[in-house]
């Protein structure tokens, strides 16, 4: 089935434009509710299916939460509302509360004008493709509510933040703590603003919080994992040992050392994998994506650790991990999955895994990452019409072939459409950097002309 609405990470778009409108989201809730209500859920007589609804701090979340709740209620499904809550927290709480599904209203690292809807199954994993297809099939069907006596109810989960804080702390060894460590945490004015600082503080760290004053409009605005300049300044100002930057919904992570040097997802994945291999706790190999820096693959192979690449998107990393029965994977963007700790990527939990390695080995972040020098990698986003096929264009193909010839065996070229935005991502990797930048810009210009 060709997907009409669902992308690689749920349904996302500009608020007020299809599909992120109140009418559509209500119909989405109704369609999802009908799918849930028709599933074999082993419910008691008269018991209704129930889902958890969390959101980030975007002002549009109020509107979309109400629309989603209305659709679910019309389908006879109860809603449990958490208010602002990180995406991975919704995955955890859905499983912990034994609910039928979890829904997150968020556009992750995108600006506040965007929003989206993504689903988790009862076990805290992304919904299977087949279930998403069933929901899609029902969105455009008539919305006929259940009889009044069968409508769903809504209630608040009052202790959601406390439950999740305790869960995050449980993923850090009980015999270790963070005493003596000064950490700046940037919450991107997003869903972790009332979670991450408490987790770190309760583990013993001296915490300086920035990006923790959401107003509905400032999420990801010049802050967070995608724009760590504010964090760098704060780390230097407070003479901190480390900086931790999360994105708007809390599933993405980058870290900084005391000098303000940024460590991306590939480097943090290396730190975790290196520690686990040395301690004998690495189960199987490591999964990256087609965007993972070639240097990480080479470094892991040099350690005797198997490496596999998945398509871009944490759901595809998860698929490979499950298929291979491995536990560790991630993306350079900062999505890191530790399946022995959580069912999905979690920025806070991932940060704690890095901190575990540093504390256990009495190392700085720079020392723990030594042995990995990333190849220069340039990524250029080119805005196009959603249906534009860059791979079918002869001029683009020629530009790519020319670049690959110049890079030889010491570089890569990758063009791929984004799963969340109407852009083509042009990635060139290799050495020297000036050549990589020139080739990336040349290919991007070619894509722009071809798409015009």
Q: How far is CA 124 from CA 26, 369, 401, in A?
A: 23, 31, 42
Q: How far is CA 219 from CA 53, 83, 119, 192, 305, in A?
A: 19, 15, 21, 11, 38
Smallest CA-to-CA distance from 178 within 195, 200, 193, 209 is with 200
| Contact between residue 307 and residue 285 where contact means Cβ atoms under 8 Å apart | yes
Q: 197-233 burial, b for 16+ CB within 10 Å, e for fewer?
A: bbbbbebebbbbbbbbebeeebbbbebbbbbbebbbe
3-state secondary structure of 125: coil
H-type alpha helices, 221-344: 229-237, 265-279, 294-302, 314-324
Q: In terms of DSSP bridges, do strands 182-186 and 101-105 run parallel, antiparallel, or are they unpaired?
A: unpaired
Tell which phi-psi region holds residue 382, choosing left (phi > 0), alpha (psi between -120 and 50) or beta: beta
Residue 106 bears catalytic tag: no
End-to-end CA distance of the chain: 29
Residue whose entry in the numeric block shows the structure tokens 């083509």: 424
Given 79, 108, 121, 209, which residue is catalytic?
Answer: 108
Q: How many residues does the chain have?
A: 452
Question: Phi/psi at 326 (nearest 5 deg)?
Answer: -100, 175
Sign of CA dihedral 345, 347, 349, 351: positive
| Contact between residue 99 and residue 80 where contact means Cβ atoms under 8 Å apart | yes
Residues carrying an active site annotation: 108
């Amino acid at each position: 089935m060709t997907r009409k609405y669902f992308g690689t990470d749920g349904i996302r778009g500009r608020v007020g434009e299809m599909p992120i409108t109140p009418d559509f989201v209500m119909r989405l809730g109704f369609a999802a509710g009908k799918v849930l209500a028709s599933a074999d859920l082993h419910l008691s007589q008269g018991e209704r299916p129930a889902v958890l609804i969390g959101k980030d701090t975007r002002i549009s979340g109020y509107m979309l939460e109400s629309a989603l709740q209305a659709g679910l209620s019309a389908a006879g499904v109860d809603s449990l509302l958490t208010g602002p809550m990180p995406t991975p927290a919704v995955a955890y709480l859905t499983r912990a509360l034994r609910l039928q599904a979890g829904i997150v209203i968020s556009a992750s690292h995108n600006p506040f004008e965007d929003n989206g809807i993504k689903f988790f199954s009862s076990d805290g994993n992304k919904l299977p493709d087949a279930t998403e297809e069933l929901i899609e099939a029902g969105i455009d069907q008539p919305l006929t509510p259940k009889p009044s006596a069968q409508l769903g109810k809504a209630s608040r989960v009052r202790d959601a933040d406390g439950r999740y804080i305790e869960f995050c702390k449980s993923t850090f060894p009980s015999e270790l703590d963070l005493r003596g460590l000064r950490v700046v945490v940037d919450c991107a004015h997003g869903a972790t603003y009332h979670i991450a600082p408490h987790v770190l503080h309760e583990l013993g760290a001296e915490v300086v919080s920035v990006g923790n004053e959401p107003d509905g409009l400032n999420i990801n605005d010049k802050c967070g994992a995608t724009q760590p300049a504010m964090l760098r300044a704060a780390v230097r100002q407070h003479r901190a040992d480390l900086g931790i930057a999360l994105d708007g919904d809390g599933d993405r992570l980058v870290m900084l050392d005391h000098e303000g040097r940024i460590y991306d997802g590939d480097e943090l994945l290396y730190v975790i994998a290196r520690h686990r291999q040395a301690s004998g706790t690495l189960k199987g190999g490591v999964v990256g994506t087609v965007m993972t820096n070639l240097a990480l693959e080479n470094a892991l192979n040099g350690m005797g650790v198997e490496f596999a690449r998945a398509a871009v998107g944490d759901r595809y990393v998860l698929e490979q991990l499950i298929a291979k029965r491995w536990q560790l994977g991630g993306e350079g963007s900062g999505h890191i999955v530790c399946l022995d700790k959580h069912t999905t990527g979690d920025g806070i939990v991932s940060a704690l895994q890095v901190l575990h390695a540093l504390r256990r080995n009495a190392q700085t972040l720079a020392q723990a990452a030594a042995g990995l020098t990333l190849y220069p990698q340039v990524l250029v986003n080119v805005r196009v019409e959603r249906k534009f096929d860059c791979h079918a264009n002869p001029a683009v193909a020629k530009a790519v072939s020319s670049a690959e010839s110049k890079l030889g065996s010491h570089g890569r070229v990758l063009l791929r459409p984004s799963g969340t935005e109407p852009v083509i991502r042009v990635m060139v990797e290799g050495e020297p950097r000036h050549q990589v930048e020139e080739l990336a810009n040349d290919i991007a210009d070619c894509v722009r002309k071809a798409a015009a």
